Structure 1
């Protein structure tokens, strides 16, 4: 049983990651923490998680609201751009956009008292060497926790960090991926921490070389064909066709990339990915097109630098079909009345 804290910003695949982690028999989800990111302000992010867990029948899982702003960030207009992304799509997708990142209705329960950073620190220190921290949005909460508690880096079992890009073009600038770009200062703190971690970049998520890991309309049809009474799958089948269409038509991918779910899945199946040897990874902080670029020190350079901890393995390949089968099987566990045999 893998003990996880899942730190999310509630964009589309964060919802799927929460549902996956809440249902998988080999995961003990200690709590979900929220951070402002691609889905909007912290209230929206937190309400999405609370509503998602209610649908999953997992109101027992704590949800702690966290950072409402990056440590430094970028211009106000640039930071708001991902949230208002749908305005660029209105002419193409019309009414279908109502299913894309809609305002979350008020949840039936409030967020759990206490800040996300405090929850991360308290939970990890109470179970040293047992808890993996998974970040699928900007790493602000993780960075603040590492800064606040020097013992945290050594007490974590590991970190799984979604972010960065090395060979695939960035989705914020040609060089930068959103999660790292949104709070580069936080990402540098996290990547410089002496904690074993896997960095999951766009290269193995949002690239057609890993097309077999992406969710398509055919996958939704296959999943629903055998379902009788699965409210979680019904929500996915109703909500995610627009996500599939956007990533096909705007980003030229064969389906909807499952970045966040892939990152969570590595907690129980790290062999889903091939990785580099442990290396030092860093982040460009300077303003401009390279802000938020991830840099991996893989060889020997003449100029000094790259002398930080070799604590990051960068994922370079993915068993996409195996991952997608794992996702489908986990979502099928929400079938009402279905017999479950937990590991």
Structure 2
């Protein structure tokens, strides 16, 4: 593919668990030009997230070619809890604690996002698989950011479904609901929420066994980082996964997969979304007016269903052949 035909992507991440697989998909896709990775406070300690991203890019063979920029180290206003109980200590399965010695970018991630957007108007897609703090800060500094970016594809929210951190909220929007509310209000985003993740990007023992049979470093890496999630789901019935079985959700990698292969999207709807930024039990709640009861203009494209088989094939092809497009 001609480089000019590739989707130019910045991934904004709180690198732990499945975030790594989103980075791998983007790094290895000939449909994507991975411009940079920006880090935002979220899943684990900030410095660990930075090293996890660099290590993952190394594993995908682009560690020296894709710069990691360090961004917001805390939410805009509220404190938050990490998610090491889901992703393992350090975020990479509890057994990998890399020190890559790769330097970070020489400017703040927020400044980088603004710079990239200004220099390439209408060309950059931000794939946000972390809390939306970096994007909110960038928006505050550059109010024209929604016009300068091509699109924002976001993993976050729980659209008319139970959350995964509280009954009301998905983790990314819960961590920084003020940022989520600001970004949702300003951008016309594409949203992959927790509900579609549980419905269509939850993989199980058959997939894990196929990966275990692969003799590749990427497959071994996947098996390592996914183990704590499997254990968490086997022991937990307190959220929308309601698994109590050997499964793992793939919210971030499926979000990236929709960008590199939009054909896996089966259905989507346009609606108005607001995010509850108040403290309390509804912190981070995503109100999606799918029936247009309120009459507000649409500000989001919500992905409702994804082809699970095709997503799984993309993931397995990446782990086996280092090529997300080996089959499709």
Counterpart CA distance in 2 for 1:12 and 1:134 is: 16
Over residues 14-66 of structure 1, what are the superposed CA-to-partner deviations in whole Å (9 max), with x where a residue is unaligned? 0111111111121111010001101x222111011011111222121010010
The reply to whether residue 114 of structure 1 matches residue 119 of structure 2 is no
Question: Is the CA contact (8 Å cut-off) linking 2:267 and 2:306 kept in structure 1?
Answer: no
SS of the residue 1:69 aligns to: coil
- Aligned partner of 1:243 in structure 2 is 229
Match among 296, 305, 313 for residue 325 of structure 1: 313
- Aligned partner of 1:272 in structure 2 is 264
The reply to whether residue 199 of structure 1 matches residue 191 of structure 2 is yes
Of residues 57-66 and 251-260 in structure 1, the stretch that sits farther from structure 2 once superposed is 251-260
The reply to whether residue 30 of structure 1 matches residue 22 of structure 2 is no
Shift of 1:306: 6.5
SS of the residue 1:267 aligns to: helix
Match among 31, 53, 57 for residue 57 of structure 2: 53
- Aligned partner of 2:21 in structure 1 is 16
Question: Is the CA contact (8 Å cut-off) linking 2:16 and 2:52 kept in structure 1?
Answer: no
Counterpart CA distance in 2 for 1:97 and 1:105 is: 9
Shift of 1:222: 1.6
Counterpart CA distance in 2 for 1:56 and 1:160 is: 22
- Aligned partner of 1:315 in structure 2 is 303
- Aligned partner of 1:93 in structure 2 is none
| RMSD of aligned Cα (Å) | 2.7
Counterpart CA distance in 2 for 1:12 and 1:98 is: 6
Over residues 236-280 of structure 1, what are the superposed CA-to-partner deviations in whole Å (9 max), with x where a residue is unaligned? 234423322322332443511110011111212234234544322
TM value normalised by structure 2: 0.87
What is the total number of aligned residue pairs between the two structures? 314
Distance 1:86 1:97, change over 3 A: farther
Distance 1:123 1:192, change over 3 A: same
Distance 1:17 1:218, change over 3 A: same
SS of the residue 1:175 aligns to: coil
TM value normalised by structure 1: 0.83
Distance 1:81 1:17, change over 3 A: closer
SS of the residue 2:55 aligns to: helix
Match among 178, 201, 221 for residue 209 of structure 2: 221
Give unmatched runs, 5+ long, in structure 1.
Answer: 90-95
- Aligned partner of 2:143 in structure 1 is 150
Structure of higher CA gyration radius: 1
Shift of 1:320: 1.0
Counterpart CA distance in 2 for 1:98 and 1:173 is: 21
Shift of 1:235: 1.9
Give unmatched runs, 5+ long, in structure 2.
Answer: 1-5
Shift of 1:224: 4.5
Shift of 1:316: 1.4
